[in-house]
Chain A
């Protein structure tokens, strides 16, 4: 009797490596904000209303619905949100350069507690946004108050971190202009000396992720290439040349945990 086998990874099977297909795991675990969803401007209003001593601010429908303000002003929950956004904290800012959609995740870490403001996840978008959809994506955020040890998983879900077989691609050094052109335009051809693995990666849907932190400085520049996994992009000593290589999701995860731990110490 022949062994029951799982579906194989289509690309690796095509080059003679029959390993299980793990590319569909990402789609099974979409990012979900569990908190209220608000226009960014409403959060600014909430913060101003919390600070105000004399002037009274009128709550917006979204702030009322979220229970962050009532007729009297900010509620207890609203004051908690405003405080977490104002008090100095370790900060992580993630931004996706997917097309023209300015998708962001901002996390303010206060010791064992954190507040996260997230737009739509770049991993959740099938197509690049335009017009009103783009405006809504950029200006509406989910608000989540979580344990700081839950922040790495929150970020992992937002960036669509998921298993992928690490592909050794060549060349490792690619012109910065070529990488950035590919980020903006999927029809950008791969480097002329690209091997089969890099050509496969080039054909996948891409989005770019950057993570910056404050007050300590740490930066991360990653291309999510869908089923082909994550690729770290680093500057080299050569002007205008990037290193582009597979970044195993377990290493991305450890980097997130380490970075959030640093932010918790602020």
Chain B
């Protein structure tokens, strides 16, 4: 496999490839975060930056990805009023029974947002990678975030 040419950043044992025009940002409560260029949402100049962040936590010895996934769905429903959970599947990592991908949408003010969350349980560590961006930007950003997630959690070990 060819090594990516983009720079990488590492936090919590997870390495993210930084897409072109994206940069590492400080997001309290996360081990690592990157954000893209501001996307102009409205004629009034409102902008929103697409972002991805990493949360890493020790898992209890008896932790089970099925329970972690179920808890992620429950947590999504309380992110905001009117959350719509769209999709949930085993994530196609090499060890897919230990990964889940959750997709949901909700409205933040006037801005419809889309969230993809990858949850991986490996070696008693649960890693949650979350991508958030406006639905209006989805067709431009969706595959890019999938690629970043695959490189971070997929073919190469997360830690």
What is the interface of chain A, defined by CB distance below 8 A to chain B?
Answer: 1-6, 18-20, 22, 25, 28-29, 32, 112, 147-150, 152-153, 156-157, 161-163, 165-166, 248-250, 253-254, 257-258, 261
Contacts and interface: CB of A to CB of B under 8 A. Distances in A.
A120 to B, nearest CB: 18
A253 B87 contact: yes
A6 B70 contact: yes
B87 A248 contact: yes
Given A3-B63, A29-B84, A163-B87, A153 B73 contact: no
Contacts of B89: 163, 165-166, 248, 250
A6 B66 contact: yes
Nearest to B86: A253
Interface residues of B, number: 31
Contacts of B82: 32
B79 interface: no
Contact of B87 (A2, A153, A250): A250
Which of B67, B84, B107, B139 has the most chain A CB within a 10 Å cutoff? B84
B99 interface: no
B92 to A, nearest CB: 12
Given A5-B67, A250-B89, A254-B142, A150 B112 contact: yes
Which of B62, B64, B69, B135 has the most chain A CB within a 10 Å cutoff? B135
A19 B70 CA distance: 10
Interface of B: 42, 62-64, 66-67, 69-70, 73, 77, 82-90, 103, 105, 107, 110-112, 134-136, 138-139, 142
Contacts of B83: 29
The 4 closest A-B pairs by CB, nearest first: A250-B87, A163-B88, A149-B136, A3-B62
B85 A162 contact: yes
A147 B110 contact: yes
A60 B111 CA distance: 34
B73 A150 contact: no
A150 B107 contact: yes
Given A4-B64, A153-B84, A257 B110 contact: no
A124 B63 CA distance: 35
A108 B85 CA distance: 25
Contacts of A153: 84, 105, 107, 112, 135
A229 B7 CA distance: 40
19 contacts: A3-B62, A3-B63, A6-B70, A18-B66, A20-B67, A25-B73, A147-B110, A152-B135, A153-B107, A153-B135, A163-B73, A163-B85, A163-B86, A163-B88, A163-B89, A248-B87, A249-B86, A254-B142, A257-B139
A215 to B, nearest CB: 20
A162 to B, nearest CB: 7
A140 B66 CA distance: 42
Nearest to A250: B87
B103 A250 contact: yes
B73 A156 contact: no
Which of A5, A22, A162, A261 has the most chain B CB within a 10 Å cutoff? A22
Given A147-B110, A156-B105, 11 more contacts: A5-B67, A20-B67, A28-B77, A149-B134, A150-B112, A163-B88, A163-B89, A166-B89, A250-B103, A254-B138, A257-B135
Contacts of B87: 163, 248-250, 253
